Structure 1
Amino acid sequence: MKNILLFGAGKSATSLIDYLLTNAPKQKWHITVADHDMSLIKSKTGKSYYATPEALDIKDDTARQALIQATDLVISLLPPSLHILVARDCLAAKKNLLTASYIDPEVRALENEIAQAGLLFMYEMGLDPGIDHMSAMKLIHSIEKKGGQIFSFKSYCGGLISPDSNDNPWQYKVSWNAHNIVMAGASGATYKEKGKVKELTHEHLFDHTKTIQVPGLGKLAFYPNRDSLGYMEAYKLGDLATFMRATLRYPDFCEGWNAVIKLGLTDDHHKFATNDLTYTNWASHLVSDTSSGNSEENLAQFLGVSAKSKVIRQLKFLGLLSNDTINLGEQTNAGILQCLVENKLKMEPADKDMIVMMHEIEFERRNMATRMHSYMISQGEDNIHTAMAKTVGLPLGILAKMILQDKVTLTGLQIPVMPEIYNPVLKELEDYDIRFEESFE
């Protein structure tokens, strides 16, 4: 019997838990799911003989380390800042670790120790990052193998609401961690275009969003995602003139979110008292030192838009002009915004989300310039069995199976850019209707 330990039973864990439990009888696995919310765990594991729910305070070192010591493989779907706790324990207990999150500086500092211990810490093994790396590297290696020389690489991915459930002025609903949505783009973005390195601050990330055409969906807006340049080396495309990784949204979202940033609603540093403070008064103080006058007109004037504009409708939909009291104690603007987003943009039970990913690669082969598009669209089933959960969780589950079947010899701190990982994972993902279509120009 092999034991798998999963930390985190939130939105992204549903499909992963289903996959592990489905495979457990044949593979002879037992899965322990640890989270602070026991009822949440049980809603995902049911009464499965192959699962043990474990209520856990992740900062309880003794309890956490005991769970890790007793397992064969660890998967973490915790908030990014907490992965380091698990990573250090896995290193001490000599356990392999899988997660969908980005490699951060703290775990990067452990890179040599991980390699020396002969362990595999596979980070960025979800959707974006994850499936984007694997599908991109499969294309890149295929082009290079045929003698093609790549000169432009652009990759786009977005967690969106399905057109059938797209019924609010934001054209967006929450299918993953709301805090990450609020803080998206907080560190700005860096990318390369036509030989020049471009840098955008958070304040200007949504100023002039561009659009791309996605087959069957029409135009989607995009904004550059984090530091694209760090992946040029990982992809072995260090001398490209154009290299960009970007996030996809419906155009209306980007226009509204630009206003949210200009209002300072994503500030997560300065706390203030919110008890007895109305949303209207809060909104008024965002644009002036006094709460007098018409809040709607003040907001519009501050943003340079009409009081009847789509942006003001979006802000009203969120509840910024409500006379309800906030009553969240000491809170930041970002904390208040997160509560509004979770409440006003939540997915209803029958709502379906959608994942869209597209790679655009320009290359030259035999003196002929070619542009390739490779795209994937995945639809969710409802607000629990989401496309987001499927695309984040399944790559982790498939790799876990490969490791426990001794089909992976790779060690060290890695991301999934190598054929021995991406070929079998992408192949099995097709069994779950996660597949890419290609076109050439």
Structure 2
Amino acid sequence: MTLQSNTLPLKKILLFGAGKSATCLIAYLIQQAANNNWQITIADGNFELAQNKSGGSLYATPVQVDVKDDEQRNALIEQADIVISMLPPGLHLLVAKNCLTAGRHLLTASYADAGMKKLEPEIRKKGLLFLCEMGLDPGIDHMSAMQIIHRIRTAGGKITAFYSHCGGLVAPESDDNPWHYKISWNPRNIVLAGKTGAIYKLHNEIRHLAYNALFDAGRLVEVPGYGSYAWYPNRDSLIYLHLYGLEDTATFIRTTLRHPDFCIGWKKIIELELTDEKTLYDTDNLSYHSFFNLHLSNQGLKEAASGKEKQLLSYLGLYGNGIIGKGIASAADIIQSALEKNLMLQPADKDMIIMLHEISYADGGGEVRKITSSLIVKGENNLVTAMAKTVGLPLGIAATLILQEKISLTGLHIPIAPEIYVPVLDELGKEGIVFGESLI
């Protein structure tokens, strides 16, 4: 089945969300719109933000939208050929249902969750393409890994171990704090990362790690040219065993990369239950240090932080007299506030994306080999970030290819098919997003 033919006289792209990760996506879409005489609508709850991101382009129209308003949302979708959602994951389903009704293609960088999967029969029946996990991680990780996996299989090899690491980090030239970390995306995601624990496969055994065991600074991987980084297992790796066709592989782990010192600090934050979302505090006249002491008392905990741990907590201001001033807030809200005050990218700072695949396999002759494939991307400043490039460009490229009818898949997909990853990786290469590879 092929994509439905476009019946509109002018091809139109609708983007929901103009936040941090949409900066490079919008710039790319405007360029493609100029080349192809397309029109982009940038819809956000903040009109000024959408207007600034449009840059005054004749090919981009900023609009203010309450995405939870059914009438507003549906009116915009009905005018588009293809919809890109950069909204929080919980809002994608609202957009998806309208896209189904209106017969519009949909792209997101978020995981294909249970709600989206329930729509799959109707998506396929209507001849639409809903492409999820089309960002960095998930996204570029899938595409670059599958390209290697398919190449090994074609040559008669059998994969025995698969590690896929990815981290949004700070570039060495902008690394000036003891956490060796600065935030280039939604801070809430940093606070909540790992709360559900992790599951993966190691040496033919299914392993579960609880939240409090994730952030181990001793799990290290060497990144070519950048030294050692710590990794922790990311969510549920097992759901990709079948999708990657690696059910027989002895080890399969998808991870997040951090500096080892970050893991030391975050492990202590978890031990002190500072990511708790249940207990609430009135923070309008509460200092960070007073909150810290009150929280420990409420939780029946002792601080027991010294050395490196204390240095890291101190850097977040937890021993300081600064007023939180966030109204009624949880410990997680307060830690997020501390991160936003002390670990955000400054205007001239550069972030850095590291992606690293380690794939061991027996080749056609039975010899054991290992491919290491690595990607390093640095941002330009705190607006044109490596995170924005690597999350946004895959979406923009895929949208362009779909409108040009160079991708003809229908149904609900993630980018593991050659029809998607071959042309997208090729275009990413033209944007400077290129993997280096070694074989031993």
Counterpart of 2:124 (choices 91, 101, 115) is 115
- Separation in 2 of the partners of 1:140 and 1:290? 48
Equivalent in the alignment of 1:361:
359
Give the residue type in structure 1 aligned to 2:319.
Answer: L
| Distance (whole Å) between structure 1 residues aligned to residue 124 and residue 295 of structure 2 | 50
Write out aligned runs for 1:28-177 (5 A): 28-177=37-186
CA drift at 1:289: 4.7
CA displacement, residues 295-327 of structure 1 (integer Å, 9 cap, x when unaligned): 9xx52x2xxx42xx1211111111111222222
- Distance in 1 (CA, whole Å) between partners of 2:118 and 2:435 is 35
Counterpart residue type for residue 39 of structure 1: E
| Residue of structure 1 in register with 2:418 after alignment | 419
Q: Any idea what SS the aligned residue of 2:196 has?
A: coil
Q: Distance in 2 between matches of 1:372 and 1:102?
A: 27
Which residue is equivalent to 1:404? 403
- Alpha-carbon distance, 1:427 to partner: 0.7
Matched, 1:316 2:314: yes
Structure 1 unaligned runs (5+)?
Answer: none
Provide the secondary structure at the position in 2 that maps to 1:357.
strand
Partner deviation per Cα, 1:92-148 (whole Å, 9 max, x = no partner): 111100010111111122122212221111000000000000000000000000000
Structure 2 residue runs without a partner (length 5+) = 1-9
Match of 1:27 in 2: 36
Q: 1:252 matched to which residue of 2?
A: 261
Q: How far did residue 241 of structure 1 move?
A: 0.9
Moved more, 19-28 or 388-397: 19-28
| Between 402-411 and 206-215, the greater mean CA deviation after superposition | 206-215
Does the 8 Å CA contact 2:217/2:230 hold for their aligned counterparts? no
Distance 1:57 1:209 in 2: 45
1:275 Cα deviation after fit: 2.5
- RMSD (Å), alpha carbons: 1.5
How far apart are 1:207 and its partner, in Å? 3.8
- 2:203 is matched with 194
Structure 2 residue 427 is matched with structure 1 residue 438: no
Deviation (angstroms), 1:286: 2.7
Which residue of structure 2 aligns with residue 337 of structure 1?
A: 335
Residue type matched to 1:247 in 2? T
1:11 aligns with 2:30: no
Contact 1:159 1:355 in 2 (8 A): yes
* 1:316-339 residue CA offsets vs partner (Å, 9 max, x unmatched): 111111222222112111111112
**Which deviations, in whole Å up to 9, do the C-alpha atoms of 1:184-241 show, x marking residues without a partner?**
1111100000011110111221145400001100101100000000000110111111
Q: Retained in 1: the 8 A contact 2:14–2:43?
A: yes
Letter in 2 for 1:67: L
3-state SS in 2 of match to 1:288: helix
Specify whether residues 239 and 277 from structure 1 end up closer, same or farther in structure 2 by C-alpha distance, changes over 3 A only: same
SS at match of 2:285: coil
| SS class of match (1:375) | strand
CA distance in 2, matches of 1:326, 1:420: 50
Matched, 1:350 2:376: no
Counterpart-to-counterpart distance in 2, 1:333 and 1:68: 38
In the TM superposition, residue 362 of structure 1 has moved relative to its aligned partner by 0.6
Local SS of the residue matching 1:232:
helix
In structure 2, the CA distance between the partners of 1:209 and 1:85, relative to structure 1 (3 Å rule), is farther
2:294 corresponds in structure 1 to 285
Cα distance in structure 2, aligned partners of 1:318 and 1:81? 29
The residue type paired with residue 197 of structure 1 is I
Q: Is the 8 A contact 2:216 2:230 kept in 1?
A: no
Cα 1:290–1:389 change in 2 (3 A) is closer
User: In the TM superposition, what whole-angstrom CA distance separates every residue of 1:260-284 from its partner, at most 9, and x where no partner exists?
Assistant: 1111121223333222222112111
What percentage of aligned pairs have identical amino acids? 52
Which deviates the most, 84-93 or 107-116?
107-116
Contact 1:209 1:254 in 2 (8 A): no
Which moves more between the two structures, 22-31 or 70-79? 22-31
- With 84-93 and 109-118 compared, the bigger mean Cα shift is at 109-118
- Residue 439 of structure 1 deviates from its aligned partner by 0.7
Alpha-carbon distance in 1 for matches of 2:238, 2:40: 38
Output the amino acid matched with 1:316.
S
Matched position secondary structure for 1:319: coil
Q: Partner letter of residue 40 of structure 1?
A: L
Which whole-Å CA distance do the structure 2 matches of 1:343 and 1:69 have between them?
41
Q: Following TM superposition, by how much is the alpha carbon of 1:287 offset from its aligned partner in structure 2, in angstroms?
A: 2.2
**Counterpart residue identity of residue 199, structure 1:** H
Distance in 2 (alpha carbons) for counterparts of 1:5 and 1:57: 15
Cα distance 1:41–1:372, how it changes in 2: closer, same or farther (>3 A)?
same
Q: Give, in whole Å, the separation in 2 of the partners of 1:216 and 1:399.
A: 31
